[in-house]
Amino acid sequence: MTERLYEGLFLVAATEAASEWNEIEVQIRALIEKHGATIEYAERWPEQRLAYPVKGVKRGVYFLAYFTSDTGAIVSIRSDGQLNEKVLRMLIIQEDFLDVEMAKRKEAAARSAESAARSAAEANKPPADATEPTTKSKSTDDGDAGETAKEAVVAEDLPATSSDAQADPVDPVDPVDPVAPVAPVAPVEAPAEPEASVEASVEEVAEDAADEVVKEVASTEEETQ
């Protein structure tokens, strides 16, 4: 048994591929693998116009498959492909460069899948214009809040104006808080007089008293005589 790498190309009608592709792909894979072959890589080509009609079909879809198989199984694979009603035509070849060709197609398919994933991510990403108004509105709200806070602080620091005094008259007599203790009133002390002034006052009082006594004694003597 000698296994080699083969390339198989299977043509399917475009109308049937559009409606039954999953089932058709399963059938093509089965007719290759049931004879012991192993599919290494496979891809579906886009729908295209055929160079000439095949069994009355003008548009078709190709299914390309690289598979390793024993050389003796190729005849059976061709026979099963010709008997399949979904396969309009098939071509199986074996060349030394097929491994290089398969590697190129794998690399191209990987790049295509990466590009498709990147495009899908960009499509799902919200546009920048949709988020800009929200951000701007938020910053504006923050600025208004800051300005309001500044005005409140300035209003607290400013003294009351005449209009404020008229709007809110102040009672001239402050009410006494019944709960707050009242501080005792300290007695007012008279300023101390100098000692000399005190002695002079005492002498004056004594002289006045002596004069009164002398007057009383003289009055008594007169009454006695």
pLDDT in tens, 36-65: 999 999 999 999 999 999 999 999 999 999
Q: What is the pLDDT of residue 198?
A: 46
Sketch out the chain's domains with CATH numbers.
3-94 (3.30.70.60)
CA–CA separation, 216 vs 89, rounded Å?
Answer: 173
Closest CA to 40 of 108, 110, 105: 105
pTM exceeding the 0.95 threshold for the entire prediction: no
Q: Where are the alpha helices (DSSP H) in the chain?
A: 14-33, 74-83, 98-124, 128-157, 162-167, 195-224
CA angle, 29 then 46 then 82, to 5°: 40
Q: Look at residue 140 and give its three-state secondary structure.
A: helix
pLDDT in tens, 107-136: 999 999 999 999 988 888 877 665 555 555
